[in-house]
Amino acid sequence: MKQTSDFRFHRVAGSRTSIIRAMAAVVVPVCVFAAAGLADPPEQILDAPFYSFDADSPTVQADIGIHADDILAKAPNPAPPNVAVDGVNLGLGQMGDEIDALSSANAGFPNSQEFLLLFSIDRASVANAPPHPLLVAENVLYNALDQAARGHGSGDQFMSLDMFTRAGGPASRSAAARVPATSVQTKNQYNEGGSDFGGEPKDGSARPNGPIPQDNVVSMMLTGRSGGGLGEVYFSVTRDSPSLAMLPGDGGELANGAYIFFNPDALNPGSESVVFASSTDLGLDPNDDIDAMIVFDTDGNGIFNNPIDHVLFSLAHASPSLVTIPGASAASPAAHVFQVGAGSASPSVFALAENMGLGNPLDNVDALDYVVCVIENEPNPTEFDCALQYGIRGPMVPAQSDWGLILLTLSMLVVGAILIGRMKHRPA
């Protein structure tokens, strides 16, 4: 009896050991997969933007009906983006045309309203500020420096950790967010819980890209600005776009890359684009290239004439005004954000590159928008609160991800059930 009992004990113990080993064989890969897989989406996903890719983007090069002068909208992955507005509707449509900046009217936006800058960078940008250590401690791991190093920063959206108002900036209220000034990643080029641009490469924030070509987001405006639809559009095109010869100039001059155009009904192929602001209105050189902007057209009339109309913008590398605008750093002027008001024709620095965690000589701000931070039950959120709310989180791990826990639990239950079933059918 004792021998039988010992024998049964060893059989049960051996079976339990087999179960544990078998479960480990499944659980360990599950944990590794979760840790190396896609990042978690933000606590609150920002509105999906309308946006465009540059001509060198693989999605544009693929010849699937997406062009560098089209306004795009996110489609469900793995499908490529939808064309929301064909460039022809804007008076574009020639080979070589490229949208360089987009904005809505932002009519009635008060001077005192605080906001955080949203921006993209180009493929050559490096950035120079690491992720904020307090955000890293909360598993909000990614920013411009990190994503550029991984080889897919040009298809992302980032948010400043400095807060601004139209009257000036930064208007920071949080010491934790001010040291050091940096950015946080708010949208990936692809596949972070819907918080993405549907672009190439098809990799998450946590994965290095290597030499795979990158899509480059060169303009964006959040859909919520116009109730989720597209109507009035403010846009700029590259200085080499051939359709500039066909678009209206101001006072008979030829339009250039430092013009901002306005289309009152971009969804209507018969709607004509007109000049919102010329290079002269903005105090810019005709050879400048506006490659990012936020328009505050106070009365929404499509004319840069109200004394409190206001434009925030960035200029491409090699724009002559980068060396003439007072306060611009010679080290990374293409990563600054400038401002100009109607009637002033005297641009000035609005945000320095370092306010966004940039500052490498290669850095270039390639698209701009903003977000007014709203957090439930938090009437006066700090920049740090906003970053925790809108920032993409680290890879899914069982201790921190509901999906990781679900996958782990299901795997253990399935393996356990199979092995227990086998035990029951073995002879005693």
pLDDT (tens place) for every residue of the chain, 428 residues total: 333 333 222 333 343 334 333 333 333 333 333 334 578 889 999 988 999 999 999 999 999 999 999 999 999 988 999 999 999 999 999 999 999 999 999 999 999 999 999 999 999 999 999 999 999 999 999 999 999 999 999 999 999 999 999 988 787 777 766 667 899 999 999 988 777 999 999 988 998 877 889 999 999 998 766 555 677 899 999 999 999 999 999 988 899 999 999 999 999 998 999 999 999 999 999 999 999 999 999 999 999 998 899 999 999 999 999 999 998 888 899 999 999 999 887 999 999 999 999 999 999 999 999 999 999 888 889 999 999 999 999 975 443 334 344 444 444 454 445 444 544 455 54
Contact 192, 41 (CB under 8 A): yes
Residue ranges of alpha helices (H) inside 265-401 are 383-390
Q: Quick one: 192 and 246 in the same domain? A: yes
- Torsion region of 380: left, alpha or beta (phi above 0 gives left; psi -120 to 50 gives alpha): beta
Domain range for 124? 40-393
31 and 44 in a single domain? The answer is no
- CA 326 to mean position of chain CA atoms: 29
Report the pLDDT value the prediction gives residue 71, as an integer from 0 to 100. Answer: 97
- Let me know whether 368 and 409 are in one domain: no
Q: Mark whether 185 and 307 lie in a shared domain.
A: yes
Co-location of 308 and 417 in the same domain: no
**76 and 107, same domain (yes or no):** yes
**Domain match, 48 and 23 both:** no
Do β-strands 49-53 and 217-222 pair in parallel, antiparallel, or remain unpaired?
Answer: antiparallel
Whether residues 138 and 156 fall in one domain:
yes
Instruction: With beta carbons less than 8 A apart as the criterion, state whether 82 and 105 touch.
Output: no
**Which of 67, 97, 89 is CA-nearest to residue 80?**
67
Residue 254: its pLDDT value, please? 92
Residue 210 pLDDT: 74
Q: What is the spatial distance between Cα 413 and Cα 421, in angstroms, rounded to a whole number?
A: 12
CB 167 within 8 A of CB 158: no
Residues 110 and 12 in one domain: no
Which of 119, 125, 113, 123 is CA-nearest to residue 186?
Answer: 119
Provide the edge-to-edge strand list for the sheet that holds 310-315: 290-296, 310-315, 337-341, 348-351
Upper half-sphere CA count for residue 209 (Cβ side, 13 Å): 26
Query: Which residue has 């004439």 as its token pair?
Result: 305
Task: For helices 402-425 and 2-36, give the axis angle rounded to 10 degrees.
Answer: 150
Helix (H, G, I), strand (E, B) or coil at 31: helix
Q: How many domains does the chain have?
A: 2
**CA-to-CA dists, residue 336 to 60, 117, 323, angstroms:** 27, 12, 12
Whole-number pLDDT of residue 291 = 96
Structure tokens at 418: 């199979």
DSSP E strand boundaries for 198-351:
217-222, 233-237, 260-263, 274-277, 290-296, 310-315, 337-341, 348-351
Same-domain check for residues 99 and 199: yes
Q: Which two tokens stand for residue 160?
A: 């400043």
Residue-wise DSSP of 147-208? HHHHT-GGG-EEEEEEEEBTTBS-----HHHHSS--EEEEEBSS-STT-B---SS---TTS-
SS3 for 11-39 is: HHHHHHHHHHHHHHHHHHHHHHHHHHCCE
* C-alpha to C-alpha distances, 264 to 100, 275, 370, nearest whole angstrom: 18, 11, 22
Q: Within this chain, do residues 64 and 85 fall inside the same structural domain, yes or no? A: yes
| Backbone φ, ψ for residue 308 (5° rounding) | -105, 15
422: tokens are 């086998």
**pTM: predicted TM-score of the whole model, two decimal places:** 0.84
d(CA 229, CA 404): 36
Same domain, 253 and 286: yes
Shortest CA distance to 187 belongs to which of 152, 233, 213, 212? 152
Segment holding 393, helix H or strand E: strand 393-395
Structural tokens at position 101: 């900046």
Alpha-carbon gap, residue 294 to 164, rounded angstroms: 13
Give the tokens for residue 159: 């948010």
Handedness of CA 55, 91, 71, 159 (dihedral sign): positive
